[in-house]
Amino acid sequence: MPEFPGGNDSLIYYIRDNFILPRYASSPDTLATIYVTFVVDYFGYVQDVQNLNRVHPRVDHNAVNVIKGMPQWKPGRQDGEPVNVKNTVPIRVPAPRSIPSFLRGKSPFIELAYDEEAYEAGVFLGTMENPEFPKGEKALASFIRQHYKTPATAAQKKVSGTAKLSFIVTPAGKVTRIKTMSNLGHGIEENLTETLSQMPAWKPGVDKGLPQFVKRTLEFQITNGKATFKAIVPSEYDQVDFD
């Protein structure tokens, strides 16, 4: 069989030291196991890394990455000749505490095909370095003032209140998946969505030295239909309660 440099104990230490556990709503007293399969080729290099099951989108992604980053193995042999050998490694992590809506009616521990929407449950909500709008929040407030267009009907009806929208900042700083979390209507949320879609790239959020997908939620003060940036507020996962 193939052998990790230093043997099985060294493999355990490698995973422990290099696997990055993302932040997600978890149950510290309950563990889940993700199984990652891969091929050690006849040169000892790791190939064809895949998840055999799913635990959480960010966990799944990071588990694959830690296996892909392994050093060269001592290759397996058959009849004295080096050959390709398939291996499976288990990684145990805290089980997700709540089941996101995209898994409704399904177990989060079986093999699933995640669509793009699934990854919202895997973004970081708090990082060592949060994403930043270029030149900070004052510049963000100025950007909103310059680009937001007050809807005529909202101005006529003197609509006032608090609008709330969320979005994802990717590791490249791109703003994506903008969602409205308020319902003032009269075109306010639609125009805010259009404004946020025009934002330049943000400085990405960083955790343990690596850029991450991070969710940001913004609140706006609406006065007679006019929007003023209010604050960046805590974000929450899309959670669903099950009986």
Q: Encode 3-25: b = buried (16+ Cβ within 10 Å), e = exposed.
A: ebeeeeeebeebbeeebbebebb
pLDDT score at 2: 93
pLDDT score at 117: 46
pLDDT score at 134: 94
Cβ atoms within 10 Å, residue 215: 23
* Reported pTM: 0.54
Q: Amino acid identity, residue 3?
A: E
Q: Are 217 and 165 in contact (CB under 8 A)?
A: yes
Residue numbers of the chain with a pLDDT score lower than 50: 102-121, 237-243
What is the token pair recorded at 154?
């909202």
pLDDT score at 171: 86
